[in-house]
Structure 1
Amino acid sequence: MKDSAPDWFETCVSHLTSEGTQRVWSVLVTIFGDLAQEETDQISGAVITALTSLAGIKAEATRVALHRLRKDGWIESTRKGRSSFHRLTAFGRHQSVTAAPRIYAKEAPEPGLWHVLIASNSDSSRKELADLMLTGDYISLNPATSMAPGQVPAGLEELMGVESSAISVPGWLRDLCGPEALKTAYDQFLRSTQIIGQEMPPEGAGDPMKTAILRVLIVHNWRRIVLRHPAFPAAFLPADWKGPACRAAVSQLLEKLPRPDLTSLEAELDS
């Protein structure tokens, strides 16, 4: 970078990192998922360190997080001379591609079909239900009943499965799908996006590095919220739910912060 970060940039980063407890490995997952999702995409360690430093993350923490992602099978690394380059593994790309529609769609996907699973009082039936809840976007209605989008899974043994496209949604279910803690997270994120929209210059960040890290931090904060729950239709959520407003704000901000080409980020370090 050629100049110091302007006040508007520091203000935006501050709002996007205000929790102060960023999981660095998770931020790196967002960097790869947003900037380098294609099979041939790779990012140098120098660029990753430059990006994370703009977010207030220390170089040592970045190195530790990269090591963790390699160990967990998310990324693979190669060396060219003194430089290290990192890319998503097939597993990492699959995870990123799977989550992308929930994150980047301008309108939230609304499943047309839902299913409910009901367990008996037996331990084996409850265990089958608990195991299935680890495999999809299930929400627990009570200890014996769970619900998720899509068709009833095949191969049920001791569970009753019912699927339908028409479900009556009482108030208690709206509160269960949109609990206060999640509503608060959406409210706070919406305020942050509004402040960023006001602070950021109309033409965007201009600098490729600042553009990249602002994109990453916006997507990271959004991803942490929107992937915490299934893609519920509006009828399942409280009337004051801010999810659609947040999605619209994210789309608008990302349009002002177009994804930089990886070569431009590498070139920025050499300038």
Structure 2
Amino acid sequence: MKPQSMLFTIYGEYVRHYGSEIWIGSLTKLMGEFGLSEPAVRAAISRMLRQGWLESRKVGNRSFYSLSERGRKRMEEAAERIYKVETGRWDGKWCMVSYNIPEERRALRDQLRKELGWMGFGMLTTSTWISPNNLNERIRELTEVQEITEYVEIFSAEHTGWSNPKQLVQKCWNIEEINAKYKEFIDVYRAEYEELAESIRQGKEVPDSLCFVNKTKLVHQYRKFLFIDPDLPEELLPELWLGKEADQLFQDYYRLLNPGAVRFFETVYEAAPV
């Protein structure tokens, strides 16, 4: 597990619910539960500061780190998708983004592609990406922040030919690969969940530290689907789709682990004095 990626999980799953700020000592202790050293944690925090995800402040001789505005928005977006609720029927419209960013601004073009992938867009052609979800306002905000509005056009479009909607999905996303990743997730965590559920039924004591580690790893692994699953509406999903089974397993296992995980976090967490 990469330290920076794990820090995103710790902040998104725990710290953001406690004022979004935490003492570095608490962070290193929490990360130590996963075998990550203090130097590795500090290096990852430095990278996140440079990238604008975190902000820091000193209180006496102690350092505290909080989510920046950018970091809070990203965590909220991630939580909205991880803990999603069922949506209504698809209206048949596609959100389409087309861009023509000059070569001298290549870094911005690469960043835009990463953000489009994160949001769940699929690449129809090299510079045209689509999503069946209404993400127009998110794209407007993103392109304004990146100051690339002159190079980008946004459409709410109706597809009239020639592929049918499911064929279009197959062109823009690797559905088989996503299904295979969901199967891997189910194969790993089904056994873990059933073993823990059986222990609890038998009245065995489950350490809070174990709940913290297992829940954090669960969220950490499930969070990876944000980068590959486009969150397609029911009408566009293939007949064999393992995303729903994986989501149900995630929710069941999460509920089992959450109380102990939160108790452990609270014993370690230390915020800045008021």
CA shift in 2, pair 1:109/1:32, >3 Å? farther
User: Is 1:146 the equivalent of 2:149?
Assistant: no
Shift, 1:249, TM fit: 0.9
**Contact 2:166/2:238 (<8 A) preserved:** no
Q: Counterpart of 1:139 in structure 2: which amino acid?
A: G
1:181 is aligned, of 168, 177, 185, to 177
**Contact 1:77/1:85 (<8 A) preserved:** yes
CA shift in 2, pair 1:86/1:158, >3 Å? closer
| 1:196 corresponding residue in structure 2 | 192
Q: Counterpart of 1:217 in structure 2: which amino acid?
A: K
Q: Counterpart of 1:57 in structure 2: which amino acid?
A: L
**Contact 1:118/1:146 (<8 A) preserved:** yes
Deviates more, 1:145-154 or 1:31-40: 145-154
Distance in 1 (CA, whole Å) between partners of 2:232 and 2:188 is 23
Shift, 1:24, TM fit: 1.3
User: Is 1:72 the equivalent of 2:72?
Assistant: no
User: Is 1:263 the equivalent of 2:266?
Assistant: yes
Q: Counterpart of 1:212 in structure 2: which amino acid?
A: F
User: Is 1:104 the equivalent of 2:83?
Assistant: yes
Deviates more, 1:48-57 or 1:206-215: 206-215
| 1:137 corresponding residue in structure 2 | 120
Q: How many residues align?
A: 241
SS of 1:260's equivalent? helix
Deviates more, 1:212-221 or 1:246-255: 212-221
Deviates more, 1:219-228 or 1:42-51: 42-51
Distance in 2 (CA, whole Å) between partners of 1:85 and 1:124 is 39
**Contact 1:212/1:257 (<8 A) preserved:** yes
Deviates more, 1:75-84 or 1:158-167: 158-167
Q: Counterpart of 1:146 in structure 2: which amino acid?
A: W
TM-score when normalising by structure 2: 0.70
Shift, 1:118, TM fit: 8.5
**Contact 1:111/1:150 (<8 A) preserved:** no
**Contact 2:15/2:21 (<8 A) preserved:** yes
**Contact 2:96/2:130 (<8 A) preserved:** yes
CA shift in 2, pair 1:49/1:221, >3 Å? same
TM-score when normalising by structure 1: 0.71
Tell me, which stretches of 5 or more residues in structure 2 are unaligned? 141-148
Shift, 1:30, TM fit: 0.8
**Contact 1:39/1:88 (<8 A) preserved:** no
**Contact 2:28/2:41 (<8 A) preserved:** yes
Q: Counterpart of 1:100 in structure 2: which amino acid?
A: A
SS of 1:241's equivalent? coil
Distance in 1 (CA, whole Å) between partners of 2:82 and 2:92 is 21
| 1:169 corresponding residue in structure 2 | 165
SS of 1:192's equivalent? helix
Tell me, which stretches of 5 or more residues in structure 1 are unaligned? 1-21
**Contact 2:166/2:237 (<8 A) preserved:** no
SS of 2:262's equivalent? coil
1:48 is aligned, of 5, 27, 42, to 27
User: Is 1:211 the equivalent of 2:194?
Assistant: no
CA shift in 2, pair 1:118/1:212, >3 Å? closer
* Cα RMSD for the two superposed structures: 3.8
1:32 is aligned, of 11, 21, 26, to 11
Query: Percent sequence identity over matched residues?
Result: 20
2:36 is aligned, of 53, 57, 66, to 57
